[in-house]
Structure 1
């Protein structure tokens, strides 16, 4: 797989998704954006959350505010934005993974592929952060993260991702929350 080409596709889809979400939901005060994948490396999707969503959590959910604030699987706009582009990327990933080299998730070739995909997504978010893409649209820094369903990063790796993607108060709050796990 040509990961350089894939990175360009993910970057373009990310920009389109974020602009779509902002244009549709800017009044809800967007504070967080994520790219996420799955442990089988078959998908890449966006996820966005808003202050409005957090303000409307029920009392039980508010007791776990950090979880709803920082876990992209719980965010309001999961897999929303640039649907066609992200579907095409995911189809391309699944097609690549159907090759015999990747049939077993324990094989070194699969692990290398998965790790390269994850790093590619992180690189896209980091590049857009450095270009102030999100800040220029929203008007302030937002929380950025890369997340994976059915897979857990080691805490040190997750901490590294959060630090790399965030130069804001969200980073400090997230790292403080991590200490409660």
Structure 2
């Protein structure tokens, strides 16, 4: 089964828009929004964080450099904001079916999957970039936010992560994130 990436791109865009609208209906205080997947490309979801939750994280975590880590690391964000959002259920069903058909019994299958993984992650970033360039996020929320793409249990190379942040942000958050990355 080969996934049609163009059709998937359209589905992701609709799901992201709907998820963002649900989030800002509940939380006007958000400063961040992320689309994220897993290393097997079986799931896709969104995450967001609020300034209030960030303040609480700063109080709870007194480690040096925890401010930036809490602010920009998806695993530190408030998962309660997005726990009931199911705009990705059809996409996730399709992704899971696609992954279950891969045997990984030979190098060729593995190469095919890795090519798909790269393409899929690129599509996710492209969708966010398109919505950002169209002004979707700023128009709906009324302010600039930090936008990113992440993968659970997987870490992009530093240069790739920088590229994602630069592509999706042209605001104070991008500058602050990139300066923080330089200290790591």
State if a TM-score over 0.5 links the two structures: yes
Asked if structure 2 preserves the Cα contact closer than 8 Å seen for 1:122 and 1:146, the reply is: yes
* Alpha carbons of structure 1 residues 117 and 62: separation in structure 2 relative to 1, 3 Å: farther
C-alpha separation in 1, matches of 2:124 and 2:83: 16
* Alpha carbons of structure 1 residues 60 and 115: separation in structure 2 relative to 1, 3 Å: same
C-alpha separation in 2, matches of 1:121 and 1:6: 10
**Which of 6, 9, 16 pairs up with 1:7?**
9
> 4+ residue stretches of structure 1 with deviation over 4 A?
101-106
User: 1:180 deviation in Å?
Assistant: 2.0
Q: Which whole-Å deviations, capped at 9, do the CAs of 1:61-89 have from their partners, x for residues lacking one? A: 25311111101122113681773331221
Note the aligned Cα RMSD (angstroms): 2.0
Q: Which whole-Å deviations, capped at 9, do the CAs of 1:75-117 have from their partners, x for residues lacking one? A: 1136817733312211110101111355679810010111111
Asked if structure 2 preserves the Cα contact closer than 8 Å seen for 1:141 and 1:168, the reply is: yes
Give the aligned length.
179
Match of 2:54 in 1: 54
User: 1:170 deviation in Å?
Assistant: 0.3
Task: Report whether the alignment pairs 1:159 with 2:182.
Answer: no
Give the unaligned 5+ runs of structure 2: none
* Alpha carbons of structure 1 residues 139 and 153: separation in structure 2 relative to 1, 3 Å: same
Task: Report whether the alignment pairs 1:171 with 2:174.
Answer: yes
Q: Which whole-Å deviations, capped at 9, do the CAs of 1:149-174 have from their partners, x for residues lacking one? A: 11111111111111000000100110
Q: TM-score, normalised by structure 2?
A: 0.89
* Alpha carbons of structure 1 residues 167 and 137: separation in structure 2 relative to 1, 3 Å: same
Q: TM-score, normalised by structure 1?
A: 0.91
